[in-house]
Structure 1
Amino acid sequence: EYDSLDGEPATLFFMIAAPDGANNTHIETLARLSQLLLDDDFKVALENAATADEVVDIINKAEAEKFSGEEKKEEAAETGNSQVSEDKPYIIAATACPTGIAHTYMAAEALKKAADEMGVKIKVETNGADGRKDVLTEDDIKKAKGVILAINRNIEVNRFNGKPLIQVEAKEGINNAKGLIQKVLDGQAPIFHASGSSEASEGSSSEKKGLYKHLLSGVSYMLPLVISGGILIALAFLVDTITGHANAGGGFGSTSYLAKLFMTVGKAAFGLFLPILGGYIAYSISERAALTPGLVAGLLASTPLVENGPVSGFIGALIGGFLAGYVVKFLVWAFKGLPKALNGLKMILFYPVFSVLITGSIMWLVINPIATQLNVWMNNGLGSMQGASAVLLGALLGGMMALDMGGPINKVAYVFGTGTLATTMTTGGSFSMAAVMAGGMVPPIAIAMASQLFKNKFTAQEREAGLTNYIMGLSFITEGAIPYAAADPTRVIPASVIGSAIAGALVGLFQIKIPAPHGGILVMALSNNFFLYLVSILLGSLVAAVILGILRKKVTE
Structure 2
Amino acid sequence: MKITDLLKCVSVDVNAAAKSKDEAINHLVDLMDKQGNLKDKEVYKQGIYAREELSTTGIGEGIAIPHAQSETVVAPGLAAMVVKDGVDYQSLDGNPAQLFFMIAVPKSSGNEHLQILAMLSQMLMDNDFKEALVNAKSKETFMRIIDEKEASQKEKETQKEVAQKSFSGSYQIVAVTACPTGIAHTYMAAEALEEKAKEMNVTIKVETNGSGGTKNALTAKEISECQAVIVAADKNVEMARFAGKPVIQVKVADGINKATDLIKQALSDDAPIYQSDNTVNLKIEDSNEGVGRTIYKHLMNGVSHMLPFVIGGGILIALAFLFDDYTIDPKNFGSNTELAAFLKNAGDTAFGFMLPILSGFIAMSIADRPGLAVGFVGGALASGGGSGFLGALAAGFAAGYLLIGLRKLFDYLPDAFEGLKPVLLYPFFGILIMALGMVFIINPPVAAVNNGITNILNSMGGSSKVLLGLVLGGMMAADMGGPINKAAYVFGTASITSGNYDIMAAVMIGGMVPPLAIALATLFFKNRFTKKEQSTTVTNFIMGFSFITEGAIPFAASDPLHILPACIAGSAVAGALSMAFGCTLMAPHGGIFVIGVISNPLGYFIALSIGAIVGMILLGLLKKPIASK
- Per the normalisation by structure 1, the TM-score is 0.68
The 8 Å contact of residues 398 and 504 in structure 1, kept in 2 or not, is answered as yes
- In structure 1, the partner of 2:378 is 297
Residues 250-305 of structure 1, C-alpha deviations (whole Å, 9 max, x = no match)? 2211111111111111111111111111111111110111111111111111114x
Rg comparison, structure with higher value:
2
The structure whose residues are more often helix, as a share, is: 1
1:439 to 476, 489, 510: 510
Residues 359-383 of structure 1, C-alpha deviations (whole Å, 9 max, x = no match)? 1111111111111111111111111
Structure 1 residues 509 and 75: CA distance shift in structure 2, 3 A: farther
Structure 1 residues 491 and 73: CA distance shift in structure 2, 3 A: farther
> Which of the pair has the greater relative contact order for Cα pairs under 8 Å at 6+ separation?
1
* Distance in 2 between residues matched to 1:407 and 1:75, nearest whole Å: 54
The 8 Å contact of residues 153 and 202 in structure 1, kept in 2 or not, is answered as no
3-state SS of the aligned residue for 2:498?
A: coil
- In structure 1, the partner of 2:301 is 217
The structure whose residues are more often strand, as a share, is: 2
Q: How many residues align?
A: 420
The 8 Å contact of residues 126 and 132 in structure 1, kept in 2 or not, is answered as no
Q: One-letter code of the match for 1:448?
A: A
Q: After the TM superposition, which residues 87-102 of structure 1 pair with which residues of structure 2 at under 5 Å, given as runs?
A: none
Task: Give identity over the alignment, percent.
Answer: 44
Q: CA RMSD in A?
A: 3.8
- In structure 1, the partner of 2:173 is 111
Indicate yes or no: 2:314 matched with 1:230. Answer: yes
- In structure 2, the partner of 1:173 is 226
- Answer with 203-212 or 463-472: which moved more: 203-212
1:455 to 511, 520, 526: 526
Structure 1 residues 153 and 212: CA distance shift in structure 2, 3 A: farther
Structure 1 residues 363 and 477: CA distance shift in structure 2, 3 A: same
Segments of structure 1 that go 5 or more residues without pairing to the other structure are: 1-70, 94-106, 113-123, 178-200, 305-310
Q: After the TM superposition, which residues 451-530 of structure 1 pair with which residues of structure 2 at under 5 Å, given as runs?
A: 451-530=522-601
Residues 51-98 of structure 1, C-alpha deviations (whole Å, 9 max, x = no match)? xxxxxxxxxxxxxxxxxxxx759999x99721289xxxx9999xxxxx
Q: After the TM superposition, which residues 73-222 of structure 1 pair with which residues of structure 2 at under 5 Å, given as runs?
A: 81-83=125-127, 111=173, 124-127=175-178, 135-137=186-188, 140=191, 148-149=204-205, 168-174=221-227, 203-204=286-287, 209-222=293-306
Structure 1 residues 155 and 456: CA distance shift in structure 2, 3 A: farther
Residues 460-487 of structure 1, C-alpha deviations (whole Å, 9 max, x = no match)? 2211113210001111111110111111
The 8 Å contact of residues 149 and 168 in structure 1, kept in 2 or not, is answered as no
* Distance in 2 between residues matched to 1:465 and 1:129, nearest whole Å: 41
- In structure 1, the partner of 2:341 is 260
- Cα deviation for residue 337 of structure 1 reads 1.0
2:352 to 256, 271, 287: 271
- Cα deviation for residue 176 of structure 1 reads 9.7
Structure 1 residues 453 and 150: CA distance shift in structure 2, 3 A: farther
Indicate yes or no: 2:426 matched with 1:382. Answer: no
The 8 Å contact of residues 179 and 210 in structure 2, kept in 1 or not, is answered as no
- In structure 2, the partner of 1:66 is none
- In structure 2, the partner of 1:392 is 467
1:328 to 388, 391, 403: 403
* Distance in 2 between residues matched to 1:152 and 1:402, nearest whole Å: 37
- Cα deviation for residue 139 of structure 1 reads 9.7
Segments of structure 2 that go 5 or more residues without pairing to the other structure are: 1-91, 101-123, 130-155, 161-169, 231-283
Q: One-letter code of the match for 1:356?
A: I
The 8 Å contact of residues 127 and 133 in structure 1, kept in 2 or not, is answered as no
Structure 1 residues 143 and 397: CA distance shift in structure 2, 3 A: closer
- Per the normalisation by structure 2, the TM-score is 0.61
* Distance in 2 between residues matched to 1:396 and 1:249, nearest whole Å: 34
* Distance in 2 between residues matched to 1:493 and 1:519, nearest whole Å: 24
Q: One-letter code of the match for 1:403?
A: A
3-state SS of the aligned residue for 2:127?
A: coil
- Cα deviation for residue 443 of structure 1 reads 0.5
- Cα deviation for residue 157 of structure 1 reads 7.2
